[in-house]
Amino acid sequence: MTLTSRRTFLLGTGAAVAAVGAVALRPATQGAPHQAYFAHLNKLLKDAGVGTPTLALDLDRVRANAQQVMGHIGGRMALRLVNKSLPCLPLLDELSKQCGTQRQMVFSLPYLQLVAKERPHVNVLMGKPLPVSAAAAFYRDRAVNTFEPARQLQWLIDTPERLAQYRDLARQLHTPIQVNIEIDVGLHRGGVSSDEALRHMAQQIKEEPLLRWAGLMGYDAHTEKVPALAGNRQRARDHAKALYKEYLEVMLGSGLMIPIEPLTFNTGGSPTYRLHDGSGAANELSVGSAMVKPSDFDSTLLDDLLPAAFIATPVIKASEHFTAPYGAEWASQALQWWDPNQRASVFTYGGNWLAQPVSPEGLANSGLIGKSSNQQILVGSGLQALHPDDFVFFRPTQSEAVLQQFGDIAVVEQGRLSTRWPVFPAMA
């Protein structure tokens, strides 16, 4: 064989091997029709005549999650429900009953007004500092009922300057105001971050009879975002607890008069509640999203909880062959040749939510076309066997805001669509 022939042979062989290797890298065909759980939800919604995107809530799963959460807390700490993550009064009522708590954490003026009016028995801790103008609006416009702000409402205060503003408001209104001090335990989003500032705030409270210290709040969800490499995550956890203890000792040693009511030392959150057992400085945990477990809360610490909320949206069009818009056909054909999971298409009623498709399996957003809030296109292998008026189910990445986008929640209980629950108005 001549040198030229040998070179041609080797090049040809190499090209053939490369071609075989490229084919071997092609994605495998995926997808299947709805499995039993979602097939049942699909039938329930169709039988009920649902024809718009709807938030379906599995109440049995919510109750099971609440039982797991309370089992972990084990009565060692109090529980406060985060209402922005569970923005539905009947849902909060159900969880209050399941968990034996009337405590809620509230994050906005409209929801504070709503809760104080509709559930005047609730004990409220604000989850973020509000401008003093928002607090003034609450006192000016609040409903006249049995809700007693001086006893049932703790305003979150993060700086000496904001504390002075709330002091002036208390004087203006001639009414006592409870203040809970936000402490920075490592998140660095806000809150007191030095002993000196905390002592200054304690002195401000001591000098004003209308200000009443109600406790501390230290949010520690940042610890689970820290990489576990070389023990960094555990150090972040230990650091947060140590700082909380230090700040509490500063306040207890400041000479402040301790109220008759037990102080609130709040911490945790859905990502971290299982890290607390009552042995630290905190005596109360906040939990919200974990009760419905959107996908952002998939973690080892929450692996015993079940997803309980799904967006169900009708199929408008389903095709076994995805046809790209004019001018992009060649790209579509190349993609379909390469990836069998882009051969079929489904157009859904609405889309572009903070959510990912979960059923039927094997659907994905079209990278060629992109997302749409009007009609979302999903591509798949066709094994999903969807037809117009079937439902595609998305799992939200978070519960706050998302649960409020679809009107009344469709509550599924013991295998049937039992009721519809109104949600909070979508307001900041």
Which of 229, 262, 290 is the endpoint of a domain?
290
Q: What is the pLDDT of residue 336?
A: 67
State the DSSP H helix or E strand holding residue 247, giving kind and residue range, or none if neither: helix 232-252
Q: What is the pLDDT of residue 427?
A: 82
Q: What is the pLDDT of residue 331?
A: 65
Is 152 a member of any domain? yes
Shared domain check, 97 and 187 = yes
Q: CA 290 to CA 67: how far, in whole Å?
A: 12
Q: What is the DSSP letter of 327?
A: T
Query: Which residues, including other chains, have CB under 8 Å from residue 21's CB and lie 6 or more apart?
Result: none
Shared domain check, 235 and 179 = yes
- Is 22 a residue whose pLDDT tops 70? no
Q: Two tokens at 125?
A: 């801790």
Q: What is the pLDDT of residue 321?
A: 82
Question: Span 112-125, mean pLDDT?
Answer: 98
Q: What is the pLDDT of residues 395-419, one digit of tens each?
A: 999 999 999 999 999 999 999 999 9
Q: pLDDT-derived band of residue 426, with 50, 70 and 90 as boundaries?
A: confident
Q: CA 183 to CA 218: how far, in whole Å?
A: 5
CATH code of the domain in which 123 resides = 3.20.20.10
Question: Span 212-223, mean pLDDT?
Answer: 96
Q: What is the pLDDT of residue 10?
A: 42
What is the domain range of residue 68?
60-290
Q: What percent helix, strand, coil does the chain show, rounded to 5?
A: 40, 20, 40
State the DSSP H helix or E strand holding residue 58, giving kind and residue range, or none if neither: strand 54-58
- Is 229 a residue whose pLDDT tops 60? yes
Is 377 a member of any domain? yes
Domain count, the chain: 2
Q: What is the pLDDT of residue 69?
A: 98
Q: What is the pLDDT of residues 173-208, one digit of tens each?
A: 999 999 999 999 999 999 999 999 999 999 999 999
Q: CA 167 to CA 179: how far, in whole Å?
A: 10
Shared domain check, 327 and 259 = no
Is 98 a member of any domain? yes
- Is 101 a residue whose pLDDT tops 80? yes
- Is 322 a residue whose pLDDT tops 90? no
Percent above pLDDT 90 for the chain: 83
CB 211 within 8 A of CB 205: yes
Average pLDDT, the chain: 92
Who wins on pLDDT, 369 or 58? 58
Q: What is the pLDDT of residue 159?
A: 98
- Is 97 a residue whose pLDDT tops 60? yes
Beta-bridge partner residues of 79:
285
Question: Span 56-60, mean pLDDT?
Answer: 98
Q: CA 217 to CA 236: how far, in whole Å?
A: 17
Question: Span 249-253, mean pLDDT?
Answer: 96
Shared domain check, 382 and 361 = yes
- Is 11 a residue whose pLDDT tops 50? no
Q: CA 255 to CA 274: how far, in whole Å?
A: 33
Q: What is the pLDDT of residue 392?
A: 98
- Is 338 a residue whose pLDDT tops 90? no
Question: Span 163-175, mean pLDDT?
Answer: 98
Three-state secondary-structure class, residue 4: helix
Is 295 a member of any domain? no
Is 360 a member of any domain? yes
Which of 290, 318, 346 is the endpoint of a domain?
290
- Is 18 a residue whose pLDDT tops 50? no
Mean pLDDT is lowest, of 16-30, 294-308, 352-366, for: 16-30
